[in-house]
Structure 1
Amino acid sequence: MNPSDDDFDTEHAFDDEEDGDDSVEARVWQLLLINPGDEETALQQFAAYRDAVGHADEEEVEPIRVIAQVIDWRSGFQVEADDTRTLVQAIDELASRWNLSVEWDGDPDDDDFHADVDAASLFATAYDSLTPYGYTLWAWETDEDTYAGWMTLTRDNEPLRELATLLDIQVRLGSEVT
């Protein structure tokens, strides 16, 4: 698969027999391209991914660790588990890329708001707020005491799940975060 192909078709991109490339690199490209309508950003992130893995043996690379680095605060986020302010900012930043805003059921600029919420409830609130507009908030498992995630168009939910499985990334819907 050539990342510069202008005719990328998400419906067929996940059929390994059709495109003939089931490498980790091809799957990472497909995952990055799921960013709604933003091939330019996906190309930049893919180039950064390639630079980061450089000459490493493909079997030694944990794709999600590198992906997290190249998408952070542009197409995804990773924040400390107890930092609800930064989590709200990160999700708001992603939503704003598509001219969306999250209805937080309170004022996230207010200290009392953060005293009464945790990351799981914020994920659920954001998920519920974005779903009617055709977007899905995802979380992926981290080894650290952090929360991480990204957004996709809802139509890409199944392809995302397939790619995540192939890349050994444990994903959950934002409404399923605990």
Structure 2
Amino acid sequence: MTPSDHDFDTEHDFDENEDIDDSVEACVWQLLLLINPGDEEMAFQQFADYRDAVVQAGENEVEPIEIIRGVIDWRSGFHVDGQDTHALVQAIDELSSRWNISIDWGGDPDDDDFHAEIDAASLFAVAYDRLLEHGYTLWAWETEDDSYAGWVTLKRDNELLRELATSLHINMRLGSEVT
């Protein structure tokens, strides 16, 4: 099955009588398309992984973001310890490299002294500004612990991402708003 064979596409219309699970899946599909700009094959692969994970979760009520986090980690998104600025830089660099973008962090991120003098919020702000210069938006979503999580979309998709995040009960903020 190819992405074009799938019954969810970016123009999916929601019918008021649709099963709630179908609309959640449609939102997840659209979200995966947004966080994989220009890579529909990756979005499709992650969507298949998402569906498998939902089946494995069985009867347990699982928030979509928890499953999404697992299927996108280090490929289309990240989830790192809040104190690990090294991992945060690596994750954002990995995502940025998908579009041949190199972040100028304003110092040497391979140097421990650089990390001793900077926090995650400052790194988010720098990466947000650098990605925006290329037409991309760095997002962070609220986690339930002392970690940071996020992904990157095209700037033109900001409003659609906000709508999808709201539908999926994901508390999002711009990378420039991380505290």
TM-score by structure 1 length?
0.89
Runs of 5+ unmatched residues, structure 2 = none
- For 1:6 and 1:157, locate their aligned partners in 2 and report how far apart those are by CA, in whole Å: 27
Residue 175 of structure 1 is matched in structure 2 by: 176
How does the TM-score come out when normalised to structure 2? 0.89
Q: In structure 2, what is the equivalent of residue 72 of structure 1?
A: 73
Check the 8 A contact 1:3/1:29 in 2, yes or no. Answer: no
Contact 1:139 1:177 in 2 (8 A): yes
Q: Is the 8 A contact 2:3 2:40 kept in 1?
A: no
| Structure 1 residue 26: Cα displacement | 1.1
Displacement of 1:3 in angstroms is: 7.9
**RMSD (Å) for aligned C-alpha atoms:** 2.2
1:4: how far off?
2.8
Matches within 5 A, 1:37-76: 37-54=38-55, 56-57=58-59, 60-76=61-77
Partner of 2:151: 150
Distance 2:170 2:156 in 1: 19
Provide the C-alpha distance between the structure 1 equivalents of 2:9 and 2:32, rounded to a whole number of angstroms.
13
Q: Which stretches in structure 1 are left out of the alignment for 5+ residues?
A: none
Q: Which residue of structure 2 lines up, in the alignment, with residue 86 of structure 1?
A: 87
Residues 94-105 of structure 1 mapped to structure 2, 5 A cutoff: 94-105=95-106
Moved over 2 A (4+): 2-10, 15-18
* Paired position in structure 2 for 1:141: 142
Query: For residue 5 of structure 1, what is the aligned residue in structure 2?
Result: 4
